[in-house]
Structure formats: C-alpha cells, structure tokens
Structure 1
Amino acid sequence: MNRTRARLSDGREIVYYDEAPGRVPVPDPRGLPPVEPVCETRRDPLTGDHVTITAHRNTRTFLPPADQCPLCPGGPASEVPDPSYDVVVFENRFPSFDVRTPPVPPAIDGVERARGAGRCEVVCFTDDHSASMARLPVPRVRTVIDAWADRTAELSAMPEVAQVFVFENRGVEIGVTLHHPHGQIYGYPFVTPRTERMLAMAAARPGLFGDVLKAEREGGRVVASGEHWTAYVPAAARWPVEVHLMPHRHVPDFTALDASERDELAVLYRDLLRRCDALYGTPLPYVAGWHQAPVGEGRDLLRLHLELFSVRRAPDKIKYLAGSESGMAAWINDVRPEDVAARLRAVTAG
C-alpha cells in the first residue's frame, strides 16, 4: 500500500491508497470556500444518550446522475481531482463531527451541550462507479482493509476522538445519497450507546466475546469460516438478514490485525458480501458496521467485529422499524436466524 496526502481547495485532507507507487496528486481546481461546519452534541437527560445536531448536512448531495457523481474521479463535480485512483479517503464535505466546529454554550434549557468535535471521512473503494465491494478483486479489498487500519490509527490519535466507526451503507432502501461504491469513517467525540452496552456486558462477564464465538462455531448458524475468522448469523439476530464476522484472536481494532488476518479477511468478507447478494438474486441493501474498541477505555473488553444487516425480509418485502423498534428499541424479527444461516450457506458466492 502506498499512501499519498494532499489537500482539496477548501482545505480538507484527501489521502490516496495505491497499490503501486508514483502518484503525484492533481490540484483541486474548484476553488471551494473554506469548510465552516456547525456540529453540536446534546445529552438526552432521560437516557444519557448523545444526540448530534448538524443542520448543514440537510443540503448534502442527494442521488445525482452518474455523470455528476462527486466520487467519480476527475469530473467537474468530483471530490477527487485525479483522473483515477485505487482507494481514496477524504474529509466529508458535510460532516457530522468536525474539529473546526465553533464553541457552543455548555447547556440549553438544562440539557448538556458540547462541540461536535471529531472527524468524518468518506472512503471510496474504487474509481469504477458501477462496481461494488463484493465484485472487487481480493487485492483491492485488502487495500481497503489497510486503509481502514491506517485511518483508524490516525483518527484514534486525535484528542477529540473517543471511538472510530468504519461502515458502509448500501442501497436506496438503507438511505444512501450516493450510488458510487464507498463507505464512511466516523471519529466520534463520545462512546456510542451500543458500544457502552457491549462494554458493560463484557465487564460483567469476562471473556464474553470468546464465549460467544465458541458457542456460534459449535452451533448451526455458521455461514463461513477460516483459520482466523468466522462469519455467523447471531442467535439473537435483530434484523431479517444479519451476519457477524469475528476474528478468532482478541484484537481491539483494525490496527491490531496481523498480515495473515488481513489476508483472510479480504477473502472471507468478499465471500460474505457475494453470498448476501445471491440470497435474493439482487443486490442486497445493507449496513456493514465494524465495531471497534473505544480509544481510551475497554480495549481489553471489546473485540473488533463486523455486524452486517439488511432491512430486506423477502425478495419483495422490507422490514420497517415501527413502534416497537423505533419507539422502545424492542426488536421483533420476522425471520428465524437459523433459516437465514442455512440459506446463506447454500447460495453460490460466485
């Protein structure tokens, strides 16, 4: 992997991750004004959850035609000035968290407030607009993994960042705003509610992640496995399609994976995505979220793992989060996890 840094015309950083050396970045010709994000967090006094307020994101680009895609290289609307790239990462033009956001008063109507300081990045997996992560060659998936690890290390070193979340939203049913194959990385200024709950469970039960992995490997919901990783449908799956991918060794984040673990991950992750697309014979809308330990706490408790889920519950049906899920966070799944695991094992991932 060859890393090359540059700046866009508004001052945002862009980083190229190439499989061959020699890149000389093309200057951004757009002459954009400096980024002036206004990101704020407020603490819900009833739950303690952080809620982020980012009114400027309401104007972000929404499903443009292919010839105006900001992630395709070199075009007049492109965020990537170069005519081609392997993998590229840049600061989001419409961030949820940004260290440049101005100070805010410490409270409003008794509710705790803070600057939404942190970092949000866009990760483009390929310059091919019509591709997908599932259809990339294995070496390119490996480059993406190396980029995730490099960005995790850099964001974790920022004093404003408490947790790094790597994820991909795919499909209009999920709510994507750009079709080009890409993901995102959030450097949160707080530890997220789901991570706090997992840390509490792991603290109360030492060895929790190892125990869960052992039970799943001995159960009937394994989808695929190798020397270093296992993909399985969890017994208490919330979503109609949900698969977790967990390393056999306890590692807190991408930076701790060794070369052999990254090599196998590139193969197994692509295999899993291809199985998901084959499940209903059409590209599966999904969220693929990589859970990593927070920067400063719980690194011995939380194990890096993927949680991939989809709202599709049948070829022509979508699972909507209604009263129970959205209102009470009490999940009701319409599909047996054992059935989904069996179908994912049975499909051809070619």
Structure 2
Amino acid sequence: MKKTSTRLADGRELIYYDSRDDLVRDDPDRRPLEATSTASEIRYDPLLDEWVAIASHRQGRIYHPPADECPLCPSRDGRLSEIPAADYEVVVFENRFPSLTSAVTGAATGSVTDQDAAPGEQRSGPLPQLARPGVGRCEVVCFTSDHDASFADLTPAQVALVLEAWTDRTAELSALPGVEQVFCFENRGKEIGVTLGHPHGQIYAYPFVTPRTERMLAATAAHRRRTGRNLFDDLLAAERADGRRVVSAGEHWTAFVPYAARWPYEVHLYPNRRVGDLLALNEAERAEFCTLYLDLLQRFDRLFDAEGGARTPYIAGWHQAPGRSGAPGTGGELALHMELFTIRRTVGKLKHLAGSESGMDVFINDVSPEQAARRLREVSP
C-alpha cells in the first residue's frame, strides 16, 4: 500500500491510499476555498453521565446533490470536487463539516467530577454546567471513485485496501493528544439519513469513551468478577456452540445474529481470536475478513429483492477498545468486532425508533433473531 498525504485549499488533510507504489498524487486543489470555521463543543449531561456534541455549523452541509455535482467524485471534466485527482482507489480526508474539531488539546472522561474539571468549564447554580471544546477529528472515507457502486460491489482486493486505510487511521488518530476512542463506520441509504449517495464511510476520533463502549466495558468487568473469564470469549463460544443464529463462519471469523438483537436484521462479525483493535489483526484474519464481509453485505442486499433490486439501507461500524490511558486492562477485555444492521424489517416497511426506543432505550424487535439468521443463510449470494 502507498499512502500519500496532501492538503486541500482550505488546509484540511487529504490522504490517498493506493495499491500501486508507482502512482504519483500531486494534483493541487484549485478551488477558491476559505478556511473552515467550526463551533463544536461537548456538553455534559449529569442525568445520564454522558457527553453530547453540539455542532450547529453542520446545518449548512451539502444535502443530496445531483450525481453530476457529487463532492466525493474525482475532479474531472472541468468540475472540481473534494478529491483533486482525476481518479482514485481509496481516499480519506478531514470532513468539511465536522462534528468534532481538529484542534485536539485535552480529553473528557466518561464520568465527570470536580477533580476532572478542565479550565474553561462553567459552574453556576446547584449543578455545574460543564462544556468543553469539541476536540477530536472527523474524517470521510471514500471506498471507490465509482459513484454508482456500493461497498458490496468491491473486490476482495479493494476491501483489503479499505481495511488498510481503516487500520492506518485508527493508529494515527489514536495517537492524537486527547483522543480516547476511534470509530470507523458506514451509513448507507437515504432511509438511514445519508445525504451523499457516493459510497463512503466516516471515522470519528472522540475526546471521550462513548456511552455504548462504557456499558460494554462495565458488563465485561462484571462478568470477569463473576466468572474469571472474558465476556466476549464466552459470548462467541456460546453462539458457535448453539449455531442457530450463526449466519456464516470461517477459520478466522464468525458472523452471527445476537441472541437479543435490537434490529430486524442485525449481524455481529467477530474474529475467532480476541483482539482489541484493527491493528492487532494478522494477515490471515485480514484476508478472510474481506471475503466474509462482502458475503454478508451481498446477503443483506438479497433480503428484499422483491423491491426491485433496491439496496438495503444499513449501518456498519467497528467496535474497538478505547485508547484511554490510566485504565489498565480495559483494552485487553473489549474485543474488536463489526456490527451491521438494517432498519428495514420487511419489504416496504422500516423499523422506526418510536416511543419505547427513543424515549426509554428499550428496543422492541419485530423479527426473532433465529428467524433473521435463517433468512440470511437462505439468501446466499
């Protein structure tokens, strides 16, 4: 893999990832862009012991442009885009409308006390009102230059290059001062809320450990105290032994519908050897992931073929151990895994997050996990 870092006209970093070492990436960004201006901050919610990002500048981001004005396509035929080159394989660049700013200066822990307070936090009234700059970094990952493709259309070699980019960005972003957790993810489909149709994903480098990961870490620690074993190891072993919810399995990975799945069709993809993050995967595990993940995405697209070949909307994201210092053992306990799910529950119908889900975080699933796994096994590519 060849990695080439350059700068866009407004100073944002752009990185080309190429499978060939002889490619030269020196096309300048000729757009007359002004420097980006962001106003992101994170505010602490004392009721839920969580941080919330406030990023009002994102209201002006690009919204469903026509295909011939896509900002993620290469710059060609006289039209300039976010990618100066006339073609590319995989590109990563700083988001022009980030939820978190790139001026990383300090971190926010998952729980706040007076001792944790950073300079500039406001205190007034009976409860402290805690706010900090939304330090971190948000990046866009373009999987291919083909506007009409999807991740499921990539070759295993193309997926391998995307995986290299995810791994490289995890390493680079984790090393930034103040970054606590790196999350690589893809949203696909207008139903999900995607505003750009080009095949792409995002990477968030958070200045705190996310609430979902905090809950996983707490559950893992409690399981260790009760049993002396790792929760992720026991969960994967139980699913493989039961078999009813396993969708596909290889020598190095297992894909299964979780026992208490929240979404109509939800699959978790685990390496059979527990590792904490993408950097720890070996070459055999990387190679098998590429083919198995493509198989899963193609199965998802076959779920609703009755809709005239419509692509299944989904969210896919890597759960990695946080890089928080001063928390010995946490990284070794949390297992790297991919979670993939769709909000579509049947042909023409979506699973909406209504009162119970949105108001109380209690999910009600209309499809049994065993039924979902059986259906996913049936729609083999």
TM-score by length of 1: 0.97
SS of residue paired to 1:166: strand
Name 2:3's counterpart in structure 1.
3
Name 1:106's counterpart in structure 2.
121
Indicate if the aligned counterparts of 1:277 and 1:283 stay in contact, CA closer than 8 A: yes
Q: Please identify the structure whose Cα radius of gyration is greater.
A: 2
Matched, 1:179 2:200: no
Structure 2 residue ranges without an equivalent (≥5)? 107-118, 225-229
CA distance in 1, matches of 2:123, 2:61: 27
Name 2:234's counterpart in structure 1.
211
Matched, 1:315 2:347: yes
Structure 1 residue ranges without an equivalent (≥5)? none
- 1:23-77 alpha-carbon deviations (Å, 9 max, x no partner): 2220000021112211100010111111100001110001100000000000535
SS of residue paired to 2:170: helix
Name 1:144's counterpart in structure 2.
162
CA distance in 1, matches of 2:24, 2:235: 44
CA distance in 2, matches of 1:160, 1:25: 31
Match of 1:29, as an amino acid? Answer: R
Query: Cα RMSD between the aligned structures?
Result: 1.4
**Superposition deviation, residue 102 in structure 1:** 10
Match of 1:212, as an amino acid? Answer: L
CA distance in 2, matches of 1:239, 1:108: 40
Name 2:40's counterpart in structure 1.
39
**Superposition deviation, residue 97 in structure 1:** 0.8
Greater mean deviation of Cα atoms: 221-230 or 100-109: 100-109
CA distance in 2, matches of 1:64, 1:86: 22
Matched, 1:294 2:322: yes
Name 1:277's counterpart in structure 2.
301
Indicate if the aligned counterparts of 1:254 and 1:304 stay in contact, CA closer than 8 A: yes
Greater mean deviation of Cα atoms: 35-44 or 194-203: 35-44
Match of 1:247, as an amino acid? Answer: P
CA distance in 2, matches of 1:74, 1:148: 24
Indicate if the aligned counterparts of 1:118 and 1:160 stay in contact, CA closer than 8 A: yes
Indicate if the aligned counterparts of 1:37 and 1:101 stay in contact, CA closer than 8 A: no
CA distance in 1, matches of 2:122, 2:265: 41
CA distance in 2, matches of 1:102, 1:292: 22
Greater mean deviation of Cα atoms: 126-135 or 98-107: 98-107
Give the alignment of 1:119-198 within 5 angstroms: 119-198=137-216
- 1:139-198 alpha-carbon deviations (Å, 9 max, x no partner): 000100011000000000001210000000000000001000000000000000000000
Indicate if the aligned counterparts of 2:43 and 2:130 stay in contact, CA closer than 8 A: yes
CA distance in 1, matches of 2:105, 2:233: 43
- 1:210-265 alpha-carbon deviations (Å, 9 max, x no partner): 00000111121000111110000001000011000001111111111111111000
Name 1:306's counterpart in structure 2.
338
Matched, 1:93 2:111: no
**Superposition deviation, residue 107 in structure 1:** 2.3
Match of 1:241, as an amino acid? Answer: Y
Matched, 1:52 2:60: no
SS of residue paired to 2:275: coil
Name 2:113's counterpart in structure 1.
none
Matched, 1:326 2:350: no
Indicate if the aligned counterparts of 2:246 and 2:373 stay in contact, CA closer than 8 A: yes
Indicate if the aligned counterparts of 1:99 and 1:160 stay in contact, CA closer than 8 A: no
Give the alignment of 1:9-28 within 5 angstroms: 9-21=9-21, 22-28=23-29
CA distance in 2, matches of 1:77, 1:60: 17
Indicate if the aligned counterparts of 1:91 and 1:120 stay in contact, CA closer than 8 A: yes
CA distance in 2, matches of 1:95, 1:62: 15
**Superposition deviation, residue 301 in structure 1:** 1.2
Taking a change above 3 Å as real, the CA distance of residues 108 and 60 of structure 1, as seen in their structure-2 partners, is farther
Match of 1:179, as an amino acid? Answer: G
Match of 1:83, as an amino acid? Answer: A
CA distance in 1, matches of 2:259, 2:358: 21
CA distance in 2, matches of 1:84, 1:7: 17
What is the number of residues matched between the two proteins?
349
Indicate if the aligned counterparts of 2:104 and 2:136 stay in contact, CA closer than 8 A: no
